[in-house]
Amino acid sequence: MAIITVASVSKCFHLRPDRPRSFQELLVSTFKQRPRRALEQEFWALRDVSFTVEPGETLGIIGPNGSGKSTCLKLLTRIIEPTRGTVKVTGRVSALLELGAGFHPELTGRENIFLYSSVLGLRRQEMARRFEDVVAFAELERFIDIPVKFYSSGMYVRLAFAAAINVNPDVLLVDEVLAVGDQSFQTKCLERIQELRARGVTIVFVSHSLDVVRSLCDRTLWLESGHLREDGLTEAVVAHYLQRVHDKDEAAAMARRDVERAAQSVAGKPQERVDVRSMETARAAGAAPAGASSSAQTDEASQELATGAQPESSTDPLARYRKRWGTREAEIVNVRFLDQDGRERLLLTTGEPMMIAIEYIAHRRIEAPAFGVAFHRNDGLHMHGSNTTLAKFDIPFIEGRGEVRYTTDVLPLLEGTYYLSVAIHNVAENQTYDYQDFGYKFGVRLGPVSQRFGTIYIPARWEHVPGSAEKVREAGE
């Protein structure tokens, strides 16, 4: 039998900005004529969501911000009740929502543990039996009898976590609280959750950290604007979710850039187009909403992209490096990033093919030009630089319009935000026609290659040959 049953549950929050909140306001509002509009707005946080959880199952809930994850969890704890439908949870529910919420500062750690456990409906004797465990887990043996108002915030959270997790719950609800304490305590928390899981405790886990969801949960729900979009095995759901998030980011970024480009062509200043374009790229990339996070690193990347969304790119840490110089006898008028299907992208994928198309216009015939590119990570690290001379790729001359393409089959950049500098100069490198330093910004996300450590992705293979070193060498010969 299911331990959690959620049957066609909808939750509506009434947003009534002008509902009187005190008798004073009530009195005033009865005498004052108010416009009738905006009296009541409805917000459906969940719409017709149904699922069941079997005992011992570990369920993850993922979804972008505002998709109803937390509402869902609150319904499971019975803190709020559904507008329609029913929620049934059997057994003791312990929620790691906001740690230490029930603690009273004047009481000692010991007293608070007992108070907290009785809030969760645990018998006093039962807690007394586990008390030593809780204290040992929280590493607070020396401080358990002083009021928690004297605790450091780390001690406080440790005590709260220890108390919440040791009440012997049948169902444990976890909402993004594992980012507490030092590294070793975090590991300990995760271990304890794994342990509870092994012991058959049902766990519902809401998180933005898809990695943790992947490692903890057998099954995952994907919520999107209140609807249950997918319910299935974690790997599949997470993959679909990531795909969707990236598509959405890309679409939003493109749409934004197209709008700006259209505005630009109306303004009609072709010679400044490149400069504007570079800013556009930065801004458009910034339009990608945060939420496409498969790890903490992605969060940083999205954050970085988000800051670029400011109309003034002054918040862009590398904006001050953006420079352009050269004689402009030949100019770079546009740079596009293309994926393997030839579609233009602002967010590329590690390990997949990428093509950079550099459109130029040469105002006169230029003999033996050289095109160069350079990649910088958003912290300023120079990742790579190359040009056609070094690559022994000859371009006899350029005249009028054209395009130079720089292609890699395996993009080795890891998740993050990068800047591309492009340049046209002569082969001898004593004449610069157009140099756009840090001119273009693009993002990289992790794809199927789940490589994320270090600076670059090395497309390598692993092999294993058992036996002694000599034998192996012999076999090799």
Residues in the site for other proteins, rule: CB under 8 A? 13, 20-24, 26, 74, 77-81, 93, 95, 97-98, 101-102, 104, 106-107, 111, 114-115, 118-121, 123-124
- Rounded to a whole number of angstroms, the minimum distance from the CB of residue 27 to other proteins is 10
Phi, psi of 342 (to 5 degrees): 80, 15
- Rounded to a whole number of angstroms, the minimum distance from the CB of residue 220 to other proteins is 25
Count each helix (H run) and each strand (E run) in the chain, helices first. 11, 18
Question: What's the chain's Rg over C-alpha atoms?
Answer: 29
Q: Which lies closer to other proteins via its Cβ, residue 81 or residue 379?
A: 81
Is there a contact between 96 and 164 (Cβ–Cβ < 8 Å)? yes
| CA neighbor of 254 nearest in space, from 286, 284, 289, 292 | 284
Q: Which lies closer to other proteins via its Cβ, residue 121 or residue 459?
A: 121
Q: Which helix (H) or strand (E) holds 450?
A: none
Q: Which lies closer to other proteins via its Cβ, residue 66 or residue 447?
A: 66
Is there a contact between 395 and 404 (Cβ–Cβ < 8 Å)? yes
Is there a contact between 130 and 166 (Cβ–Cβ < 8 Å)? yes
Q: Which lies closer to other proteins via its Cβ, residue 86 or residue 450?
A: 86
Write out the two tokens for 166: 């040791």
Write out the two tokens for 76: 């499971």
Q: Which lies closer to other proteins via its Cβ, residue 21 or residue 32?
A: 21
- Rounded to a whole number of angstroms, the minimum distance from the CB of residue 144 to other proteins is 16
Is there a contact between 205 and 59 (Cβ–Cβ < 8 Å)? yes
Token pair 């910004």: residue: 441
- Rounded to a whole number of angstroms, the minimum distance from the CB of residue 78 to other proteins is 4
Q: Which lies closer to other proteins via its Cβ, residue 97 or residue 292?
A: 97
Q: Which lies closer to other proteins via its Cβ, residue 170 or residue 329?
A: 170
Q: Which lies closer to other proteins via its Cβ, residue 104 or residue 405?
A: 104
- Rounded to a whole number of angstroms, the minimum distance from the CB of residue 103 to other proteins is 9
Core vs surface per residue 63-75: b (16+ CB within 10 A) or e: bbeebbbbbbbbb
- Rounded to a whole number of angstroms, the minimum distance from the CB of residue 181 to other proteins is 19
Q: Which lies closer to other proteins via its Cβ, residue 173 or residue 216?
A: 173
- Rounded to a whole number of angstroms, the minimum distance from the CB of residue 26 to other proteins is 7
- Rounded to a whole number of angstroms, the minimum distance from the CB of residue 121 to other proteins is 6
- Rounded to a whole number of angstroms, the minimum distance from the CB of residue 161 to other proteins is 14
DSSP string, 150-213: GS-HHHHHHHHHHHHHTS--SEEEEES--S-S-HHHHHHHHHHHHHHHHTT-EEEEE-S-HHHH
Is there a contact between 416 and 453 (Cβ–Cβ < 8 Å)? no
State the Cα–Cα distance between residues 397 and 330, nearest whole angstrom. Answer: 11
Residues 6+ apart with CB under 8 A from 177: 96, 97, 98, 99, 161
- Rounded to a whole number of angstroms, the minimum distance from the CB of residue 261 to other proteins is 45
Q: Which lies closer to other proteins via its Cβ, residue 18 or residue 98?
A: 98
- The pairing of strands 84-89 and 4-15 is antiparallel
State the Cα–Cα distance between residues 242 and 446, nearest whole angstrom. Answer: 10
- Rounded to a whole number of angstroms, the minimum distance from the CB of residue 149 to other proteins is 11
State the Cα–Cα distance between residues 24 and 415, nearest whole angstrom. Answer: 55
Q: Which lies closer to other proteins via its Cβ, residue 45 or residue 356?
A: 45
